[in-house]
Structure 1
């Protein structure tokens, strides 16, 4: 009999890469949007598995691109699909490692972006508006997404949507929505214009003041004499700032400015000037001319009998 010795060394198995699943479908994703899917890379061998993952546009590795995994360890690799065009896409995610390479497939479809509403400006102030009158302001609605944006706008009294609702806007289209403020009483008012649509909703603030001026003198039929001082009297509510006083000598057909700006304190002394007329009217208004009142009927301007 003969016996011969043998020797050997048992060593750890080498690393071995496993990537699951074998592919990922991102399905339909709107252009300009994105979607994520996850692959799991695992070391099903021994030692340490090291490597990285990469993909070409419109696919890309969002997180977990580099990995270093002990035996049995795993890591998620998140891949993002971000289509820039309306088209079908296919590609692969390339996992390269010290234990070989794996390339699972990825697919996805870029679809038209959904409609998206934009409303400007952020708010509108109507300022002072005469009670019983009205003023308009405009909001611009725009479809900054894709498809067709459909919707409507609404507001509560004393605000209301005058025109531009409902709306239907293609990509990039815009429309002016006119809002009207119609105060029926003096005071400050605030509210919101509500825009509802298939591309989101928006609310924009509106504010305004109901204001009123009442001319108290001159009275109907009153006589004012040239070169004498008289007092013009008025009352106001909901009005701030100065007022303007005007005179008509033809019953209100044409007007001349007596005082372009004077404190809104309710009375103003004026030295009467010619020419004489039997169709005198006084008008007091805010500096914008939006809120105003005229005395009720004609008065007379006469030559001063004491000096003529």
Structure 2
């Protein structure tokens, strides 16, 4: 009989299987039973029973390990492409495939981080999720490892992800312009500023209708963070009051002014959008000044049943646009 201390295995060999043979004193039939003490007051019994054995028959019993052993799956994680400023999460599973209690922790380095399940204490057979986050701050490919260290061994599965430029996003200020009083035959110029608050290149144009016109900056192509002035001219050809809009359309969204009037309403207001004619609402401006004008960056999905609602912060006083409008894709 051979005891393997490293693996806790036992090898039992039949030197002579013949009754009355060289090992007559061990003629005990066709069964073999081995008892192994595994604690101060406990033991495991392992048996083998067969109708026929031969000289040199070897039986190997593998005893359950009392030592913890770590297993981590999967062997690696690919986070794919993630825009700079955004994040993506993936999960590893750590398990104690041995005995006893497996204790340890998981760690990694930027742009990766362990957001849950970092420390673990697992009984035999137990497992736990370890969530890793990829948060790129620059473009490019990033590879790394998540280090699992424990009293049952260490494992370092790989992680990889690609940081991509965030999509373009348009911003236009101010929300409106007042040209004041201008004599017929004269003109006045005022400027809006269009800015790319996203990552990729923002391209688009600005337009309006008479008696207003865009005299410079009407088309733009702006890198991340860049801005440009858009000059608008008011050239009245008749007396009276004139209102209009400057439409900014781009690959980072479109900007349209929102205007409303109120009486006897103090404090800020909430502005909501419905895409189904007023059945359901989603906020687009929260606690914005009740100044009767704001710039709204239009985003999808497209609809022909758009409506705007302006409410006091308590939601007890509201007014809705009189008709549906279209949001184009």
Match of 1:304 in 2: none
2:240 aligned partner: 186
Q: Deviations over 1:73-102 (max 9, x none)?
A: 433322222333443322100112232221
- Is this contact kept in 2: 1:155–1:194, CA < 8 A? yes
| Residue 81 (structure 1) aligned to one of 109, 124, 134 | 134
The match for 1:198 is 251
Q: 1-side partners of 2:76 and 2:206: how far apart?
A: 46
For the residues of structure 1 that align with 2:131 and 2:89, how far apart are their CA atoms? 6
Q: Structure 1 residue 48: deviation in Å?
A: 3.9
Structure 1: which 5+ residue stretches go unaligned? 208-308
- The equivalences for 1:1-308 within 5 A come to 8=38, 9-10=42-43, 13-130=66-183, 134-155=187-208, 159-181=212-234, 186-187=240-241, 189=243, 191-204=244-257
SS at match of 2:246: strand
C-alpha root-mean-square deviation of aligned residues, in Å?
Answer: 3.7
In structure 2, what is the Cα distance between the partners aligned to 1:196 and 1:58?
34
CA distance in 2, matches of 1:196, 1:71: 61
Larger Rg: 1
Q: 1:85 to 1:7 in 2, by over 3 A?
A: closer
- Structure 2 counterpart SS, 1:42: strand
Cα offset, 1:150, TM superposition: 0.6
Aligned length: 206
* TM-fit CA distance, 1:175: 1.6
Report the Cα distance in structure 1 between the residues aligned to 2:127 and 2:210, rounded to whole angstroms: 63
1:263 corresponds to:
none
Indicate conservation of the 8 Å contact 1:124/1:205, yes or no: no
Maintained 8 Å contact 1:25/1:106? yes
Specify whether residues 138 and 101 from structure 1 end up closer, same or farther in structure 2 by C-alpha distance, changes over 3 A only: same
1:151 Cα shift? 0.9
Q: What SS class does the counterpart of residue 115 from structure 1 fall into? A: coil
Q: TM-score, normalised by structure 1?
A: 0.54
The structure-2 alpha-carbon separation of the partners of 1:140 and 1:71, relative to structure 1 and needing over 3 Å to count, comes to same
Bigger RCO of structures 1 and 2 (CA < 8 A, at least 6 apart): 1
Point out the structure with the larger strand share. Answer: 1
TM superposition outliers: structure 1 runs of 4+ over 6 Å: none
Distance, in Å, in 1 between the alignment partners of 2:148 and 2:158 is 11
Q: Distance in 2 between the 1:47 and 1:156 partners?
A: 78
Q: 1: distance between equivalents of 2:101 and 2:82?
A: 37
Deviation at 1:54, TM superposition (A): 0.8
Rate the CA distance shift 1:136–1:46 in 2: closer, same or farther, 3 A. farther
Distance 1:12 1:165, change over 3 A: same
